[in-house]
Amino acid sequence: MRVRRRLLALPIAVLLSAGLVAPATATGTGWEPVPDEPDDTVAACGTTLTVHEKVNDVETRTVPLGNGATRTDYRGKYVVSVSAPDGRKVVLDNSGPYSVTEYASGDLFVDIGAPSLIYYLDAIEKAAFARAGLPPAFYYRSGRLKLSIGDGREKVVARPKNVTSICSLLRR
């Protein structure tokens, strides 16, 4: 399961699994560049949307925690375009810092800061968003999205305020 944040969409669409980051050249600070992502698609707004990376200056580092857990942090500039087949398009700053904590049990905790584009990857994520009153694909400029994931379940622990459906942004 991956959270698509496009780096997310790592780019829920961005979830970021433990093997998401390919080997990269170390920067000497513990932070390493994240490789470019291929275009992604999401079924939303009655069509199939394409998410395309425009700027990827994101870095990542993994920090060991107690009890066999690790936290992978992401930071940096990340900009994507979202387009519909009919030509509607929006460019979004998706540069909010975020982290994925993986526990020895395999459970994950995801904390995604704003601004962020989020969209579901599977039926479990789509249902979790719906239970939290969130659309299947959305953008937010402030706040944090926090998810607890494990054992075939996903729960929105905290949701950002001022959520805008990607469909509304494409209409503009």
Per residue in 45-95, pLDDT (tens digit) is: 999 999 999 999 999 999 999 889 999 999 999 999 999 999 999 999 999
User: Under the phi-then-psi rule, with left for phi > 0, alpha for psi from -120 to 50, and beta for the rest, what region is 143?
Assistant: left
Residue 2 included in any domain: no
Average the pLDDT over each of 58-67, 81-90, 97-106, 148-157 and give the range with the smallest value: 148-157
- Give the chain's domain count: 1
* 40 is a domain residue: yes
**Range in 12-16, 49-53, 59-63, 107-111 with the lowest mean pLDDT:** 12-16
- Whether residue 21 is contained in a domain is answered as no
In a domain, 25, yes or no: no
56 belongs to a structural domain: yes
Look at residue 63 in the predicted model and tell me its pLDDT. Answer: 96
Beta-strand pair 163-165/137-140 = antiparallel
**Domain around 77:** 32-171
Q: Evaluate whether residue 10 is within a structural domain.
A: no
Q: Is residue 22 part of a domain?
A: no
Residue 172's pLDDT band (cuts 50, 70, 90): low
- CB atoms under 10 Å from CB of 159, counted, come to 17
| Within-domain flag for 8 | no
Residues 6+ apart with CB under 8 A from 14: 2, 3, 4, 5, 6, 7, 8, 37, 94, 118
